[in-house]
Amino acid sequence: MADHDEPQSPIENHGIIGDMRTAALVNDRGSVDFFCWPEFDSPSIFCSLLDTPEAGIFQLAPDLSNARRQQIYLPDTNVLQTRWLSDDAVVEVTDLLPIGDSEDDLPVLMRRVRMTIGSATFRMRCAVRHDYARAATTARQDGAHICFEAPGQPSLRLCADQPMTLDGNAAVAEFTLEQGQSAEFLLGGIDDPRLQDDVSAICLERTLAFWRGWIGQSTYRGRWREIVNRSALALKLLTSRKHGAILAAATFGLPETRGGERNWDYRYTWIRDASFTVYAFMRLGFVEEANAYMRWLRGRVSDCCDQPIKLNILYGLDGRLELPETELSHLSGFGNAQPVRIGNLAYQQVQLDIFGELMDAVYLVNKYGEAISHQGWKHTVDVVDQVCKVWQDKDVGIWEMRGDKQHFLHSRLMCWVAVDRAIRLAEKRSLPAPFARWDETRQAIYQDIWTNFWSEEHQHFVQRLGSTALDGSMLLMPLVRFVSARDPRWLSTLDAIEKSLVRDGMVYRYRNDDSPIDGLSGIGGSFAACSFWYVECLARAGRVEKAQLEFEQLLRYANPLGLYAEEFDSHGYHLGNTPQALTHLALISAASFLDRKLSGEKNHWQP
């Protein structure tokens, strides 16, 4: 039984539940140790993952000290089940955030425990701590219920079919269940009528039906169907039902370096991920999700149509521009990694690559989804004209370096993509465009990359002007069709990346040992998305057997539920915020392409 002093669980020992408005992490000891309410990016009410149980936790577990613990998802859903197996007892705790009738329904956390074999005593402790554990939360008894309140914060109510009492400002319960018996706990808004009505069984069935109905639309029939579908379900869970945007990850503050300072808030949506999102959803047959995300992206372009074009790197799910960064100094951090940050100052940075990712997404949706409108094309022309003006500028690059601005290869590459996709789209749809000027820019960027970012001495492309460093983002060069996947210079670069950045299939973004260009100490773990890009590059280069082996190895680094965080440490354990959308997007892309190569199918689905 997890007690009041429950230690932090490893990142990979978590499942996620959600209702497309918010999400919660549940560890394999039966504790909800991360939960922001009522929105994805609202302040947390449970945050023991980044501190101790005093930062908020919802513990529910049997007193079976020697039991084996497992977590599974009910098939084809985001409904999580944590199980305890001992010699004399088997227990199941089912956790979910029911899908509401409306996108405006407040989230309800539903926890159901069932004794399937034998008997056991259970202990429950629910300690809500409002506003990232900064507010003074008070718990009070209200009949059979417990209410949690704090000045200026939304109040919550905990209902249960077991007697509860107060222990300080936490709700506690101790009860015994015999075989076949069950208990239930519901946490939601203080006035939510669903907490008063006996609707939990209906909510569970409707939620199961929703997830199964949605994933049943997937057109993927390849050999990695289970992990691809799990990735799709994770992406859908991270998608805002109201706005159509998708989070980079569900969490904030989880470190990229153990005990280090690389601790960011990823509860926002990045333009960088746009084309990967559209590709993944389209490739799996989820056209409406791709279209909805694209409508959200178009809103961002519409909002910045005054010259000069100003696209943010990232936005709040509701499209807000400013995401001021705050350090939560009262939280000790995951594994004592400090500071714990909320907000993200990257919104102030300049990243030229976002134009390419935006235009790649526009192109893909027009090819496989909704056709662009007249107004949408006008905005597109404005964006590409801006690219023609700024492509030679310095920026911070795809990895949001907090050091000096540089001339980065990836930024040049994606500026080329922006102009290239716009020209292709205009030609395909017979849209008016300054073709001569755009093509002149496209050719200039092409020549600049081949002339200034190729090292004849080292026989590989370089991360930035004046450097000989390599970068994991180079793996996108053949994926965006800038260079042939079998071009000798690219293959030489791929070999150099393998020698310098790849460790057992895990790919680092860059090496920071000798030249700390990112302005931060230490070095992050290997980047999971780069690792899957590497697999796809191998497959496209014709190294299919090696690609399959590396892919299978990467699958073993998933957590037991098939989820991935942002990075891996040297042992393959998870680092960074979780689950990471970009990782699952890259996995879907690699699995889809590798499937076709192994099946000998001609690839018809390419930009």
Residue 511 pLDDT: 83
Q: Is the pLDDT of residue 512 over 80?
A: no
Residue 2 has pLDDT above 80, yes or no: no
Q: Indicate the pLDDT class of residue 607, thresholds 50, 70 and 90.
A: very low
* Confidence band, pLDDT 50/70/90 cuts, at residue 524: confident
State which residues form the domain around 510: 217-599
Are both 243 and 181 inside the same structural domain? Answer: no
For the ranges 44-48, 346-350, 520-524, the one whose mean pLDDT is highest: 44-48
Q: Which of 209-218, 269-278, 349-358, 485-494 has the lowest mean pLDDT?
A: 269-278
Same domain assignment for residues 263 and 185: no
Higher per-residue confidence, 601 vs 95 = 95
Residue 145 CA: distances (Å) to CA of 105, 140, 148, 206: 21, 9, 10, 25
Amino acid 519: pLDDT: 60
pLDDT at 514: 46
Instruction: Give exposure, 40-67, as e/b (b: 16+ Cβ within 10 Å).
Output: bbbbbbbbbbbbbbebbbbbbbbebeeb
**Given this model, what pLDDT does residue 299 score?**
83
pLDDT at 72 over 80: yes
CATH number at residue 464: 1.50.10.10
Q: Which of 551, 556, 530, 557 is nearest to 594 (CA)?
A: 551
Do both 201 and 233 map to the same domain? no
Question: What pLDDT score was predicted for residue 518?
Answer: 62
Query: C-alpha distances in angstroms, 426 versus 159, 183, 286, 359, 439?
Result: 58, 60, 25, 12, 12
Domain boundary among 214, 232, 254: 214
Pair 351, 397: CB distance under 8 Å: yes
Question: SS3 of 383, please?
Answer: helix
Q: What is the CATH number of the domain that holds 137?
A: 2.70.98.50
Helix axes 528-540, 581-599, angle to 10 degrees: 20
Secondary structure class of 114 (helix, strand, coil): strand
User: Residue 303 — very low, low, confident or very high, per pLDDT cuts 50/70/90?
Assistant: low
Is 409 in the same domain as 536?
Answer: yes
Answer yes or no: do 271 and 377 share one domain: yes
Confidence at 4, pLDDT banded by 50, 70, 90: low
Distance, CA of 72 to CA of 51 (rounded, Å): 26
End-of-domain residue from the set 165, 195, 214: 214
User: How many domains, in total, are found in the chain?
Assistant: 2
Chosen domain end from 214, 242, 266: 214
Position 46 in a domain: yes
Distance, CA of 248 to CA of 257 (rounded, Å): 18
In this structure, of 51-60, 313-322, 485-494, the range with the lowest mean pLDDT score is 313-322
CA distance 311 to 300: 7
Within this chain, do residues 355 and 479 fall inside the same structural domain, yes or no?
yes
Confidence band, pLDDT 50/70/90 cuts, at residue 5: confident
Contact 25, 244 (CB under 8 A): no
The pTM (predicted TM-score) of the whole model is: 0.95
Nearest of 562, 50, 583 to residue 265 by alpha carbon: 50
* pLDDT band, very low/low/confident/very high, at 300 (cuts 50, 70, 90): confident
Q: Identify the sign of the CA torsion 27, 31, 34, 35.
A: positive
Q: What is the pLDDT of residue 309?
A: 57
pLDDT at 272: 87
Q: Is 129 exposed, middle or buried (0-12, 13-18, 19+ CB in 10 A)?
A: buried
